[in-house]
Amino acid sequence: MRILFICLGNICRSSAAEEILRQKLIDSGLSERVKVDSAGLINYHEGELPDERMRHHAKKRGYILTHRSRPLRTSDFYDFDLILGMDDANIKRLLSRAPSEAERSKVKRTTDFNLQQHPREVPDPYYGGSEGFELVLDLLEDACEGIVQYIQQTLPLDASI
């Protein structure tokens, strides 16, 4: 299975989600069977590390964010099985950029997988303070737990990347 997280610039939410899920997959023994990546809808931050504030808050929870921002490519719609957007604007843009109905069907909300908290969106913390980054990490940890459960329930035992 291949999972791609999407947010606007790929420097806060999607890059954090990528690392959180990667760690949860390692912990659950699924890391060899699932590929995780992230991208942004814009290329403004291409090649940059995640936002310093996000790296700081993630590190306090044991996540080291090393992903370099990259923009979404059309090929991503073919290369990934699930494409998870963070908010309504992300979803709308993903659906409009998907090359066909088959690829549009891969687009889901990250929060569709939340187990404890059920917000519609993962809010962008970029223009806020520490509380916003902590909230985003809480929501992403919850969603990634749900994604692991989804993978465990749907991935065939002999499946590989």
CA 64/CA 48 separation, integer angstroms: 15
Cβ-contact 10, 38 below 8 angstroms: yes
- Distance in angstroms (rounded) separating the CA atoms of residues 74 and 148: 26
Cα distance between residue 12 and residue 26, in whole Å:
22
The CA-atom distances, in angstroms, between 131 and each of 6, 47, 111, 138 are: 21, 26, 19, 10
For residues 21 and 13, is the Cβ–Cβ distance under 8 A? Answer: no
Catalytic site residues?
7, 13, 124
Q: Which residues pair with 109 in a beta bridge?
A: 85
